[in-house]
Amino acid sequence: MSKLTSLEKALRVIDAVANSRSVGLRELAAEVEFPPSTVHRLLALLTASRYLTQDPKTKRYQLSVKFLELGSVVREDLDVVAASRPHMITLMEATAETVNLALFDGEGTVYVDQVANSGSFLRMFTRVGARVPLYCTGVGKACLAGLPENLVTAYWQAAEKKLYTDKTIKDEASLKRELEIINRQGYAVDNEEMEIGVRCVASAIRQHKSGIVAAVSISGPSSRLTIEKIPGMGKSVRRTAGRISADLGAPVEGAG
């Protein structure tokens, strides 16, 4: 392992705390593979800077609300979030299902906004802040479908593949066949590929000069978001994505 800078070590500690949610000094040192003295020093610095907090009773560390503060600043600077919000509300009211917005960065998508159906108590992976892969989610496949084939191949070869359910796409050929279908119909479907009991329907959002930047989706329990409802939901999501794209300066079919 090459020698890490203090900043790189601090970032690794932050990532490990985030993954653990709550962690003690010694288990954190084992996780990041740094000496306990080094981890103790980094924890003291991060706590003093308000990036971490320590429970006075358990002595365990967790992320502080400062990350929420920073996240809100980033969120306010994202035009796509502001442009999407009113259309997401309209879509939720029309479908009575939870509507999500996920940003695309070429390697995955991150959920950055959500208009929840208050009547749905199902805890899904589509929570704000969750990062999900492209090959087995509606938002991910919607974004992938807009890429040239060589970039899809490069993504598949580099991606860490995991079989989340028995419906998860297992090979590149299957993925590319599905992307062809997505391009024809204008929306992608996650048919319990990421989580059993959950379906999602998604469509890509384009921004002027930037291409695909995000995707909007409807998600819900498969018992309610049935296969028979998918075409109608897909049409609604595609229309919503088109309207958001138009607001971002990239008119596409379906924006009317």
Q: Is it the case that residue 256 has pLDDT exceeding 60?
A: no
- Please give the residue that has the higher pLDDT: either 22 or 251: 22
**pTM: predicted TM-score of the whole model, two decimal places:** 0.70
Q: Which fold has domain 78-247?
A: Beta-Lactamase (3.30.450)
- Report, at the CATH architecture level, how domain 6-64 is classified: Orthogonal Bundle (1.10)
Closest CA to 152 of 173, 131, 182: 173
pLDDT tens per residue, range 161-173? 999 999 999 999 9
Mean pLDDT in residue range 177-203: 94
pLDDT tens per residue, range 83-138? 899 999 999 999 989 999 999 988 889 998 999 876 655 556 678 878 899 999 99
CB 114 within 8 A of CB 127: yes
Q: Which of 1-10, 99-108, 228-237, 240-249 has the lowest mean pLDDT?
A: 1-10
Domain boundaries of the chain, sorted by first residue:
6-64, 78-247
Burial class of residue 153, CB neighbours in 10 A (0-12, 13-18, 19+)? middle
Mean pLDDT in residue range 210-219: 90
d(C-alpha 44, C-alpha 52), whole Å: 9
Q: For the chain, percent helix, then strand, then coil, each to nearest 5?
A: 45, 20, 35
Please name the residue ranges forming H helices in the chain: 6-20, 25-32, 36-48, 66-76, 79-95, 138-144, 149-158, 172-185, 230-247
